[in-house]
Amino acid sequence: METSIRTIQVGMGPLGCLMTPVFGNKASIDVVAAVDVNPDIVGKSLGDLTTADSDVTVSDLDTALAQSPDVAVVTTVSEVDRLWPQIQPLVAAGVNVVSTCEELSYPWTTQPDLSREINAVAREAGVSVLGTGINPGYLMDFLPTVATAVVNHVDRVLIERIQDATTRRLPFCQKIGAGLTPQAFQELVTSGKIRHVGLTESMHLLAAKLGWSLDRTEDVVEPVIADIPVHGEGWTVKSGQAAGVNQTGRGYVDGEEIITLVFRAAVGQPNPRDTVTLSGDPDYTVNVPGGTHGDTATCAIIANAIPAIQAAPAGLRTMADMPPISCCL
Amino acid sequence: METSIRTIQVGMGPLGCLMTPVFGNKASIDVVAAVDVNPDIVGKSLGDLTTADSDVTVSDLDTALAQSPDVAVVTTVSEVDRLWPQIQPLVAAGVNVVSTCEELSYPWTTQPDLSREINAVAREAGVSVLGTGINPGYLMDFLPTVATAVVNHVDRVLIERIQDATTRRLPFCQKIGAGLTPQAFQELVTSGKIRHVGLTESMHLLAAKLGWSLDRTEDVVEPVIADIPVHGEGWTVKSGQAAGVNQTGRGYVDGEEIITLVFRAAVGQPNPRDTVTLSGDPDYTVNVPGGTHGDTATCAIIANAIPAIQAAPAGLRTMADMPPISCCL
């Protein structure tokens, strides 16, 4: 049997803890250390913190690096300028990095200087760095670019991620603002508490891969307003209240909207799905009926990225410029 | 503007002639020569042979090589052992190759020695060689591996390509055996005249990318029998006659069928589509409603592969081990 990949987890928050058992089910992945800055969990075992069977204990970074890891999975922050000081010691130590940091999925357009620095340090160390996940990282950027391979010309890209929260429990419904008045919803938008990070990065990846030069992008968060009451498990959304969130990314060339990303998570949504619609020569549609479960798919793609990033050419990678990730054993 | 890619076409049969105008619409591609062995077309211009506006004339290979091409598009044969003597002089001369040769899409399992030879010669020459197309090359191999990225575990892969020929004209219906008696259909199967090449290669690519070791594969061609009469433009298929072809690829591990590819082209088929269904943790479905037009998409993916193969690492490449192709300008 091939040697499994010595992996460390950096960031044992909710997402990191969801990933540990996924990694534990992969013969190709061996979690050899875990890192967090929260003193409440340092010293605890991954077996205590997660559903995985693991006696690895949460430590500091130096202790983790002493385990000679091949790959680090970093689930800490959304901003690449906050991420870089966290991963720079890993990269310098020759550890490949996969991160859920949304801005890392395509930082070249919004943060070119920092991207060049990450790329240079990674190449110097002979390792690769990738930001991925389900969104950004797959549904609204990678999958659409893959769909464009079979058409002659693309005029316009529309991507819709429609999630129906009706069967979800209260915490998720609260997270998406369901049950709020429009005013209360708007206050959470203004304070940045309801906002999905990554639409801008997805648009820039798409544009770069298609050779498009965007004049500008927009990222607008609005409530979906319920027009009839919706009842779920332990909650009710009344008519006129927010049923959830609708976030729209728009990319323009010469004043024309040629990229539209619709991210909607709300109760009472019919026909949940992920859909890529290319308008061009010819038109082309790729659909995931029922949609893609965010947490499950994010854990899966990060796990599956571990062998891929170890094999990828050194440097700051994106999903568009390395061999495609597939399910690993 | 970036310099366009100096491209030659080798093989000016029906598919090659369909591609020329597609290449002509791409600013990134410049067709600088064309090659064929048919004395009836040598010396004719691509403008005469195709709908493209081009005064490039069909010549022999040496004349084409004198144009210092970057990439050759080769649309000649389906068998990689027949292809290699044709492309070896191109590779040795430092020309990257993209071919519709079905067996080239994944020759590593069925022809490992030849694959190693192609890989070695290509690496020595610093160029890359790729077999692609819509099927094999995309729908039944590449797209499914891409879909597996977002699941934790795959138990079984089912891929269905269902084409409805009802609106197609007589030559296509004849090609798929529509209107034949079951006996006459079987005779064409036995003589190899009704057969799609590539299901085996698609299964081997899938298996290799998923880390599966197949015991054996099957590739079975059968008629679809019409249960009611079907009428089209200039033809009628009676009840009991062949409505078209159903070809099934099956891949087994430990006696269990874990890959199933269904390729069906017949008149009277409801719900034409290309569908990838993964059974696993979780199940996952990707669907192309209406399906993908074979000729159009093949021309598109070959055109879009030209910049991709020029940028790819040297060697014998497959769709699974190079950065994904997307629509080029």
Q: What are phi and psi of A118, to 5 degrees?
A: -60, -45
What the block records as the tokens of B157 is 């892969």
Place of tokens 């099927």: B135
Q: Per residue in A227-269, pLDDT tens?
A: 999 998 888 999 999 999 999 999 999 999 999 999 999 999 9
CA distance A275 to chain B (A): 10
ipTM > 0.85?
Answer: yes
Rg (CA), chain A: 20
Q: What is the pLDDT of residues A163-220, one digit of tens each?
A: 999 888 888 888 899 999 999 999 999 998 998 999 999 999 999 999 999 999 999 9
Domain A5-133+296-321 has CATH 3.40.50.720: yes
Q: Is the pLDDT of residue A154 over 90?
A: yes
Nearest Cα neighbor of A160 from A292, A67, A254, A305 is A292
pLDDT in tens, B119-132: 999 999 999 999 99
Please tell me the pTM assigned to this model.
0.96
Q: By C-alpha distance, which of B122, B69, B127 is closest to B96?
A: B127
Q: Which of B101, B109, B61 is nearest to B81 (CA)?
A: B101
Tens of pLDDT, residue by residue over A128-142, are: 999 999 999 999 999
- pLDDT band (50, 70, 90) for residue B2: low
> Which of A25, A161, A327, A328 to mutate to test binding with chain B, by most B CBs within 10 Å of its CB?
A327
Provide the residue type at B252 as one letter.
Y
Query: Domain map of chain B by residue range?
Result: 5-133+296-321, 142-291
Q: Characterize A24-48 residue by residue with b for buried, 16 or more Cβ atoms within 10 angstroms of its Cβ, and e for exposed.
A: bebebbbbbbbbbeeeebbeeebee
Interface test with A, best of B138, B142, B152 (most A CBs within 10 A): B152
State the residue for tokens 């060339």: A253
Retrieve residue B180's tokens: 């034949």
* pLDDT tens-digit map of A3-51: 899 999 999 999 999 999 999 999 999 999 999 999 999 999 999 999 9
Minimum distance, in Å, between the CA of residue A288 and any CA atom of chain B: 5
Question: How far apart, in whole angstroms, are the C-alpha atoms of residue B229 and residue A215?
Answer: 56
Q: Which amino acid is at B279?
A: S
Which class would CATH give B142-291? Answer: alpha beta
Q: Minimal Cα distance from A305: which residue of B?
A: B149
Torsional sign, CA A17, A23, A25, A31: negative
Q: Identify the CA nearest to A224 among candidates A241, A205, A202, A203.
A: A241
The DSSP annotation for A232-243 comes to ETTEEE-TTSEE
**What residue in A sits closest to B153 (Cα-Cα)?**
A327
- B67-114 pLDDT, tens digit each: 999 999 999 999 999 999 999 999 999 999 999 999 999 999 999 999
Residues A177, A183, A184, A190: is their CA dihedral positive or negative? Answer: positive
In eight-state DSSP terms, residue B57 is: B
- Location of structure tokens 């190709």: A28
Q: Is residue A117 within 8 Å of residue A96, measured between CB atoms?
A: no
Question: Which of A138, A150, A292 lies closest to B292 in CB terms?
Answer: A150
Question: Shortest CB distance from B326 goes to which of A25, A210, A303?
Answer: A210
Whether the CB-CB separation of A151 and A280 falls below 8 Å is answered with yes
pLDDT digits (tens, 9 = 90+) for B186-238: 999 999 899 899 999 999 999 999 999 999 999 999 999 999 999 988 889 99
Q: Residue A57 phi/psi, 5° resolution? A: -105, 150
Q: How far is B117 from chain A (nearest CA, A)?
A: 22
- Tell me whether strands B153-164 and B216-225 are parallel, antiparallel or unpaired: unpaired
Q: Determine the distance from the C-alpha atom of residue B47 to the mean position of all C-alpha atoms in its chain, rounded to a whole number.
A: 25
* B292/A287 Cβ within 8 A: no
How many residues are recorded in chain A? 329
Rounded to 5 degrees, what are φ and ψ at B79? Answer: -100, 130
Give yes or no for residue A1 having a pLDDT over 60.
no
CB contact under 8 A, B149 and A327: yes
For chain B, the straight-line distance linking the first and the last C-alpha, in angstroms and rounded, comes to 12
Report the residue from A148, A209, A289 with minimal CB separation from B285: A289
* CB-CB neighbors (< 8 A) of A148 in chain B: 304, 326-327
CB contact under 8 A, B327 and A148: yes
